[in-house]
Amino acid sequence: MERMLVVVFDSESKAYKGKEALLQLDREGSISVYAYAVVAKNADGTATVKQGDDSAPIGTLAGTSIGSLIGLLGGPLGLAIGASIGLLAGATADIDNSRIGADFVDDVTKVLLPGRVAVVAQVSEEWTTPVDTRMEPIGGIVFRRALSAVQDTVNAEEIVAIKADIAQLKAELAQAHADRMTKLHEKINQLDSKLQAQLQQAKDRRQALEREAQAKAQVLKAKAAAAKASAS
């Protein structure tokens, strides 16, 4: 099952040990790690990416589920200046693109207090024991949530509704007196701006999913090639 994993530690050194344990599980074949980052919570409530996975395109975090989650963990102030180049731009506070619920973010932020450091990872795991048994001795508090498919239902319904409103206003415009035309034009333009924003949001989500799928395919391909090379 594909999941978002957050493991919170009380120090940066322990977080790096947790990261190495996670990658070791990946090398052993117990889980698959598609992307990860080590994130520190600052005294002012912002989050700083201390280290990220740059071994694959998904490692940039730009427009990905993990990037959105990191942005959300930074709270209203977001990410601190000084995060690694490429990671800062990719981490945006978008609950929809993170593909996990707001309750999960709340649960994590209650434990990821200032001074603590977390390993955030997008993984595939069939059972929870491998990760939990490696993190517990290091003092890691594990949070996990299955990644949901991006649901465009609400977005699609909103687009249909806006188009219906625009059509109605245009029908009224065709029969309106001159003194009403300006106001109707303004309303149509406002709705058209909303429509374009909704269309762009839907496009961004599709592209984000496509990028993640391509990056994960490259990760799996590289692992298969490495396994084949070691067997020969």
Mean pLDDT score, 205-211: 72
Question: Is residue 48 within 8 Å of residue 86, measured between CB atoms?
Answer: no
Least confident of 119-123, 144-148, 172-176: 144-148
Query: Helix/strand/coil (H, E, C) string of 142-181?
Result: EEEEECCCCCCHHHHHHHHHHHHHHHHHHHHHHHCCHHHH
Smallest CA-to-CA distance from 35 within 13, 3, 8 is with 3
Higher pLDDT, 59 or 208: 208
Q: Give the model's pLDDT for residue 155.
A: 64
Give the neighbor-by-neighbor strand order of the sheet with 2-9: 47-52, 31-41, 117-125, 2-9, 141-146
Could you give the angle at the alpha carbon of 122 between the alpha carbons of 208 and 200, nearest 5°? Answer: 15
Give 55-71 pLDDT, tens digit per residue. Answer: 443 444 545 678 778 88
CA distances from 10 to 14, 29, 115, 130, 229 (A): 7, 28, 7, 21, 39
* Confidence check: pLDDT of 115 > 90: yes
Chain length of the chain:
232
Average pLDDT for the chain: 79
Q: Give the model's pLDDT for residue 86.
A: 40
CA 129, distance to chain mean position in Å, is 24
Q: Give the model's pLDDT for residue 76.
A: 52
* Confidence check: pLDDT of 145 > 70: yes
Q: Give the model's pLDDT for residue 61.
A: 55
| DSSP assignments along 12-61, one per residue | HHHHHHHHHHHHHHHHHTSEEEEEEEEEEE-TTS-EEEEEE--SSGGGG-
Cβ-in-10-Å burial (0-12, 13-18, 19+) of 44 comes to: exposed
Give the model's confidence band at 25: pLDDT under 50 very low, under 70 low, under 90 confident, else very high. Answer: very high
Higher pLDDT, 128 or 158: 128
Mean pLDDT score, 99-105: 77
